[in-house]
Amino acid sequence: MEHLLFIETGFGIDVHGQDVTCAAVRAVRDAIHRNSMPGISRFLPDHDLNKMEVTIRLAVPKDKERVAIEKVKAEIPYGTVHVELMDGGMATPSGIVLKDKHDKNDLMYIVNASIEVGY
């Protein structure tokens, strides 16, 4: 990305089920759901939202290989989306195992997200 316009951050938690994709998607939503970028197209080539570049960096505590990258990318409606995974986040006890929520153990997964937008 040659021109970085802004960065948003967020976090997501899967309290039950140990689904790292669920936590990652929630982290992306947390980073972007309070934003509106009404003037961004003025800065993009040809004023085209699909020429936007988006880099999603996710700090994942466990099971990085289980992150469904396409589900994460689907949270961004425009542009070319790249996803990078790194060690981080947190796996911490939830205090309870709920079999009806598909818990394998008592861990909840917390994923951190940084989302860069530019072109």
Q: Does domain 4-36+43-118 have CATH number 3.30.450.40?
A: no
pLDDT band for position 105 (cuts 50, 70, 90): very high
Say what the pLDDT of residue 90 is.
98
Instruction: Dig out the tokens for 115 from the structure.
Output: 């989302």
pLDDT the model gives residue 73: 98
pLDDT given at position 22:
98
Q: What is the pLDDT of residue 106?
A: 96
Torsional class of 21: left (φ above 0), alpha (ψ -120 to 50), beta (otherwise)? alpha
Burial of 77 (0-12, 13-18, 19+ CB in 10 A): exposed
DSSP state letters, 22-60: HHHHHHHHHHHTT---TTGGGTSGGG-GGG-EEEEEEEE
Q: How far is CA 78 from the centre of its chain?
A: 15
Domain ranges of the chain: 4-36+43-118
Confidence of residue 33 (pLDDT cuts 50, 70, 90): very high
Q: Is the pTM of this model over 0.85?
A: yes
Task: Say what percent of the chain tops pLDDT 70.
Answer: 100
In order of 95, 107, 112, the CA distances from 58 in angstroms are: 25, 19, 6
